[in-house]
Each structure stands twice: as C-alpha cells, then as structure tokens.
Amino acid sequence: MKALSVAVFFIAILSSAASFAARQSSYELMTPENQAMQDDPGSNPAQFWVMDGQSLWKQKAGKANVSCASCHGESGETMRGVAVQFPKMVRRKLRTLEGQINYCRTQRQGALALAYESKALLALSVFVATQSKGLPIAVEETPANRDSLSKGRQWFEMRMGQLNLSCAQCHEDRAGLKLGGSVIPQAHPTAYPIYRLEWQSLGSLERRLRNCMSGVRARQFDYGSPEMAQLELFLMWRARGMPLESPGVRP
C-alpha cells in the first residue's frame, strides 16, 4: 500500500514535470543555422537594433531635455529584470513595454510618442529587453491584473475572422502539428522583439499577433490597444518561468 502511494506520488511529480517540460520555445523548431544566427551576436541582425537602442538611450529628447539614461543610468543594466515583468499594471492600467517607453517619452521627457514598429521604438524596446536575456518570464497573476488576464484568455480562446479560428485551436490544440509545411509553435512569446527573416526587420509581439489575425481574416487589434495588451499579458503569463531570449531570430 505504501509502495503504491509512493509510486502514485512519483507519477504525479513526473506528469507535472512533463507538462512543464513540454512547454517549448519556438527556438527549438528552428534549423541549426537559424539557431546559430540567434546565438552568435556577430551574426544576429537584431544586434544592430540593440546598438541603435543604446545610442538612443543616451540621447536627450523632449521639452525636459533628458534622456532615458538620465534616470535609469548609462549602461541600461538597471533595466535587467524589467522586460520579463511586462505587460504589467501601472496605476491601475495595463501597460506593455512599448507603452511604458512611450509613457516615459510623453510624460517624463515631454517628447512625442514613438510610432509602433518605428525603428526607434523597436531599438529602445530591444535594448531594454536584452538586458533581461536568460531571466525567467516573471508575469504572475495578481489581484490587480486578474481582470486583464481573464480578458486575455478570452481573446486567446475566442474564435475570430472569416476562418472562424481561435488562437488556442492552433497554438494549444494543434501545436506540434503542421500548417502549410511548418510546425505550429506553442506561441510562447519568449524572444520578442524578434528579427523575423520573413519581415527582414525587427518586429514586436503586437506585429506578430496582427499577422495571425490577418491570417484568419479577422479584424486586427490596433497597435497599443487594451485588447492587445491583455492578449500579450495572457501569453506572457502562459510562458511564465521560460527564459527570455531577446533578441530572437525567427524564420
């Protein structure tokens, strides 16, 4: 009896470990060549954006004539551990990393907000994100973000578009199977902003999500919209504990 209960206990541990280990970054689905491109700073094209971000970081802007570095320090190392917490609740509003950068720009620097997917915003967000490279994603459920998180889950599970598909139908139910010759990933946003070879550019998670929405012929969530932030929050919460790879390379 005792042996049985011990066995049951171990099976329980093993199965919970298995479901945890079964989570997979889409890095694992890439060819060795593309993995090498991401791992080697000398060939990862996103490094150019990181360097651009570093110089923008020190550049004074706006009416206040201050730079990011004026408050957060020259090196950006103080931003270690920041990107893994976003999207997060700031003053009872859900804010993405890009949203936070634009908040700082408009409120602290007195400058104009940077356009989504502009080179400057991508450069700054990748510079901040890469400081947290290797750290586990730290988005947890809290009383403050509970509503947003459940909205995010709702978007994830909601069928949308003319093809009437939800995110979950592909990325949860059919992850690992094939769509048009490529393996369907589990949709863990572990490497954003990514250098996507198809885009020939760096791009944000929001751009990637809009890709899928246009793929199912749905009306895309707007850049910077609350819906987008809620969906991002849910995805980051779903990927909690997985190490951040930013800046990633994806085919």
Partner 1 sequence: MSKTSRTSITMPTQAKKGSIIEIRAIAQHDMETGFRYTEGGKPIPRDIIRFFICQYNGVEVFKAELFPGTGANPMIIFSTIAAESGILQFEWQGDNGYEAVNQSQITVT
Q: Which residues of this protein are in contact with partner 1, per CB under 8 A?
A: 40, 42-43, 45, 47-48, 51-52, 197, 200-201
CB of 174 to partner 1, least distance (A): 30
For 167-170, which contacts have Cβ atoms below 8 Å and span 24 or more sequence positions? Answer: 167/212, 167/231
CB of 105 to partner 1, least distance (A): 23
Nearest residue (CB) to partner 1, 28 versus 40: 40
Nearest residue (CB) to partner 1, 153 versus 207: 207
Nearest residue (CB) to partner 1, 45 versus 62: 45
Nearest residue (CB) to partner 1, 52 versus 232: 52
CB of 42 to partner 1, least distance (A): 4
Angle at 78 between CA 102 and CA 35, to 5 degrees: 85
CB of 115 to partner 1, least distance (A): 14
Pair of tokens at residue 115: 């356009």
The Cβ of residue 230 has, within 10 Å, a number of other Cβ atoms equal to: 24
Q: At what angle do helices 146-157 and 226-238 cross, to 10 degrees?
A: 90
CB of 211 to partner 1, least distance (A): 17
Give residue for tokens 């490497």: 191
User: Running DSSP on this structure, what letter comes out for residue 28?
Assistant: G
Nearest residue (CB) to partner 1, 54 versus 100: 54
- Enclosing H/E stretch for 183: strand 182-183
Q: How far apart are CA 49 and CA 225, in angstroms?
A: 25
